[in-house]
Chains A and B, each alone.
Chain A
């Protein structure tokens, strides 16, 4: 079995974000990390690998030179190899652009399953898994909280509003996972050291069958018009009690009722 885990390099969510004049994120100014949701997909791929001898897990990352660090991080969990797509023409691509690049990179690859996080913490479009499945003409199982592989079939539980759904598809398929699926392990220092010598195949746009006319900021289907940082949090309402407990409790209850929490 061969599993592909697409991963993204994102600015650390704890860091303050800055925006470039073209309204793309300033990625140099902040520390970059592996997108947190991709830790769940990597963990899930590793668990399948542990259950299924002979499984190979390959990480795929669309990103510039510096994304090597993200790739090494992903490899440090114990993955087998990596594909990086790097090209100056990619910068500023929207979800559709990235999906076509990933699809292009996978065109020549043999694989049974693509497992990815359901969203990235910086762009948050949640579109990529579905778009990728469309471009690859494969079934998409999204928002999965449980995965089972049985022969040539993948069975998944999907998170739904108010419950869950069990779905099944033939391999190969594209799967996206959410937090509830697992608790990711930490890499080990041995894994970090081993990651240094794992093979990373670097491709450019031409290698994946695209050209700069098809992707990048200028050819994005969607355009960001404005970016406004969230206003600083307002001071909250203070509930004063007269010592009896009842005045404060009533004020709190009124507050919750007014917002339909009670």
Chain B
């Protein structure tokens, strides 16, 4: 297909719908939810009713029959007013439901996917361990086969959506052989004996998103909870992250655009030295730079998502999108707080919250260093 930057009519309509929902329902509560660390089950379920949690899945599995691109459009618009809810959507669909869709058998899809796709339940993606996230192949969690069952022991760190009132299960990676390179995925339901969901972290941002540490102490799951082929677990999870990078880039673009929204308004209202601060070039240029970053980053995630939709290689473009968008988001949030002066250091305006929320974007789903490693590798540079 030739180059086109035009969304399909239903994508435009989706974007408008999510924007409206975010302004009507999310924005008025964002600060309070963040302050109280409240996970908004009601908003998640309303988003479920809009079809957002089922965007990339077919209707027969409870989905809405859209695409991953559509999902990213929705994540950007939610993230534009509330990053916590944005990551809840991103992780809910991209990390929670996607492994079932991509690697599940027909029976597993029918059993586990519909409640997730309808936004009624959530699932977690358990890759990172206390020992490390970047080197996620160096696992300590083990699963031993015992007749028709698997016995899992180990622990996971920082697992999003694992401990909400509507969390159903986590999919995890575990070593399934003497050879630690044999890694397999399992579905572990929340109520399985021996599976303990920790109390959460005192985070710098994303306060209204759920993040848990998990412990598995002789957790027994039946053989039909094995997800995907034995030994393919690590590669499968990495492929989930390849796509996830596009979604995190979209979330970061939402943050940058949210900073622009707030700054443009404030720069008209606030006066200093006899004129609106937006009339001072130093302030205006900051906001212009933010918009430039938002558009560049958006073009990059659109490109990566488009390649993915075409079935073409997209990993490098996804890494570039994630790297650029998230670093630009940290800069935008810092500068947005600067535009707001003292009020930028309060939580009275969203920019203070964006500042707290921005940093994790450079860390989760592959740090900036990891993205640079992947891009360098793709260029054929010698491995470290």
Classify chain B's interface size: 10 to 19
9 interchain residue pairs of minimum CB distance: A189-B51, A189-B64, A188-B51, A192-B13, A192-B10, A190-B64, A188-B50, A190-B51, A193-B65
**A186 contacts chain B at the CB level, 8 A cutoff:** yes
Candidates B9, B20, B21, B65; contact of A190 at CB < 8 Å: B65
Question: What B residues does A186 contact at CB under 8 A?
Answer: 17, 20-21, 49-50
Nearest Cβ in chain B — how far from A78, in angstroms? 12
Residues A72 and B51 in contact in the complex (CB < 8 Å), given A189-B64, A189-B70: no
Residue of A nearest to B11 (CB): A192
**B59 contacts chain A at the CB level, 8 A cutoff:** yes
Question: What A residues does B65 contact at CB under 8 A?
Answer: 189-190, 193
CB of B21 within 8 A of CB of A193, answer no
CB of B10 within 8 A of CB of A196, answer yes
Question: What B residues does A88 contact at CB under 8 A?
Answer: none
Question: What B residues does A69 contact at CB under 8 A?
Answer: 9
**A187 contacts chain B at the CB level, 8 A cutoff:** yes
Residues A189 and B59 in contact in the complex (CB < 8 Å), given A69-B9, A72-B9: no
CB of B52 within 8 A of CB of A189, answer yes
Residue of A nearest to B55 (CB): A189
> How far apart sit A42 and B41, CA to CA, in the bound complex (Å)?
28
Question: What A residues does B52 contact at CB under 8 A?
Answer: 189
> How far apart sit A196 and B20, CA to CA, in the bound complex (Å)?
21
**B180 contacts chain A at the CB level, 8 A cutoff:** no
CB of B17 within 8 A of CB of A193, answer no
Question: What B residues does A188 contact at CB under 8 A?
Answer: 49-51, 64
- Known pairs A187-B50, A188-B64, A190-B65. 12 more at Cβ < 8 A? A69-B9, A72-B13, A76-B13, A187-B13, A188-B51, A189-B10, A189-B52, A189-B64, A189-B70, A190-B59, A192-B10, A192-B17
Nearest Cβ in chain B — how far from A91, in angstroms? 24
State which residues 107-158 of B face A: CB under 8 Å.
Answer: none
Nearest Cβ in chain B — how far from A36, in angstroms? 11
CB of B66 within 8 A of CB of A189, answer yes
Residue of A nearest to B49 (CB): A188
Nearest Cβ in chain A — how far from B180, in angstroms? 42
CB of A187 within 8 A of CB of B9, answer no
Residue of B nearest to A31 (CB): B16
CB of A187 within 8 A of CB of B17, answer yes
> How far apart sit A76 and B11, CA to CA, in the bound complex (Å)?
13
> How far apart sit A187 and B15, CA to CA, in the bound complex (Å)?
12
**A146 contacts chain B at the CB level, 8 A cutoff:** no
**A73 contacts chain B at the CB level, 8 A cutoff:** yes
Question: What A residues does B325 contact at CB under 8 A?
Answer: none
**B208 contacts chain A at the CB level, 8 A cutoff:** no
Question: What A residues does B50 contact at CB under 8 A?
Answer: 186-189
> How far apart sit A192 and B13, CA to CA, in the bound complex (Å)?
7
Nearest Cβ in chain A — how far from B265, in angstroms? 13
Mask of B1-28 contacts with A, CB within 8 angstroms, 1/0: 0000000011001100100110000000
CB of A192 within 8 A of CB of B14, answer yes
Residue of A nearest to B25 (CB): A186
Nearest Cβ in chain A — how far from B92, in angstroms? 15
State which residues 23-73 of B face A: CB under 8 Å.
Answer: 49-52, 54-55, 59, 64-66, 70
Question: What A residues does B55 contact at CB under 8 A?
Answer: 189
> How far apart sit A73 and B20, CA to CA, in the bound complex (Å)?
13
State which residues 48-73 of A face B: CB under 8 Å.
Answer: 69, 72-73
> How far apart sit A190 and B21, CA to CA, in the bound complex (Å)?
16
Residue of A nearest to B46 (CB): A186
Question: What B residues does A193 contact at CB under 8 A?
Answer: 10, 64-66
Residue of B nearest to A196 (CB): B10
Nearest Cβ in chain A — how far from B289, in angstroms? 25
Residue of B nearest to A191 (CB): B51
- Most central of B9, B13, B50, B70 by chain A CB within 10 Å: B13
Nearest Cβ in chain B — how far from A59, in angstroms? 15
Residue of B nearest to A68 (CB): B9
